[in-house]
Amino acid sequence: MNILICEYATSTGMGGTFLLEGKAMLKGLAESFAAGNHEIKYTTSASEIQAGTPVYCNEGNIRAVLQAEAKKCDAALVIAPDDLLAELVEEIEEHTSNMGSSPAVIRECADKLKCGKILEKNGIPAPQLVETVEDIKKGTNYVVKPRYGCAAENTIITANPSISQDMIVTEYMEGEHLSVSLICADAPLPLAINRQYIEITGKDDQKAIDYKGGITPYDTPDRELIIDTAKKAALALGCRGYTGIDIVMGDRPYVIDINPRPTTSLVGICKIIKPQIGELLIGALEENLPPTVHITGNYEFRKEDLL
């Protein structure tokens, strides 16, 4: 197959850890597809990887480039921040097979308020949403994050949250920070549970949350319960392709975020899983996934390791 991969940070020359994580995901995916003898193109502003053929673009013309290149490919996969992903996927869907979730599903996952209500409606444990000042309890910690945010970006823990249209407030859950990686077709295929290295810093009245890396797979006695919860969440939202479900494991698994796209855990998973991620993504398109995957080891990394 001829496959186009668009990773936004690499495509537009974003700096900092966005580019580090994005380029690492792009490289893992391209190498995985190439191992299956597929022809790979990837969009980039400057950085090149040692697999596939670069297609140069920038922030100003990325949509036009996606449209033009999608017409030449059998399938395409887009990775981008939650608030941009749906629009970029719309650029390819008219011209080729989308290897990820639909724009409608992406928008529901990106809207943390709407996503939380869908989880609640389907009986899936998630932190309780706080929508009015009257719901705030004195002496209780809450998480405040952008309604349309990415991962732990601009997320704080505070006992004195304010309510606004562009932020959401949820109860703060104590527990292990985990994620579940899935390949979603009509039935989601679990790949691995990943332990997330989360750093919480700051003063008692306001702390920041920062993602530092992780280890995959992560063994836990609650494996089946965690995976079952992640699968139910993905099905409730209608996710397709690679999906990451962020979970805090407390007295039960609580779904924190649903990422309808490859996440940084992919960097480790690509190195330890059989069949290749690329073949699994193609299998999901064709509703031809294996019943299980084979894990060949474990992989641990921190953000600075991606340099």
3-state secondary structure 136-187: CCCCCCEEEEECCCCCCCCCEEECCCCCCCCEEEEECCCCEEEEEEEEECCC
pLDDT computed for residue 305 by the predictor: 76
For 113-116, which contacts have Cβ atoms below 8 Å and span 24 or more sequence positions?
A: 113/147, 113/168, 115/237, 115/257, 115/258, 116/168, 116/170
State which residues of the chain have pLDDT below 70.
149-153, 307
Compute the distance between CA of residue 128 and CA of residue 122 in angstroms, rounded to an integer: 14
Domain ranges of the chain: 2-99, 108-129+175-196+213-306
Predicted pLDDT of residue 151: 55
Per residue in 200-229, pLDDT (tens digit) is 998 877 898 888 899 999 999 999 999 999
Q: For strand 156-158 and strand 142-146, is the pairing parallel, antiparallel, or unpaired? A: antiparallel
Domain 108-129+175-196+213-306 fold is D-amino Acid Aminotransferase; Chain A, domain 1 (3.30.470)
Q: Domain 2-99 maps to which CATH number in 2.40.280.10, 3.20.20.100, 3.40.50.620, 3.40.50.11770? A: 3.40.50.11770
DSSP characters over 216-239? ES---TTHHHHHHHHHHHHHHHT-
**Cis check: omega of the bond before 125, within 30 degrees of 0:** no
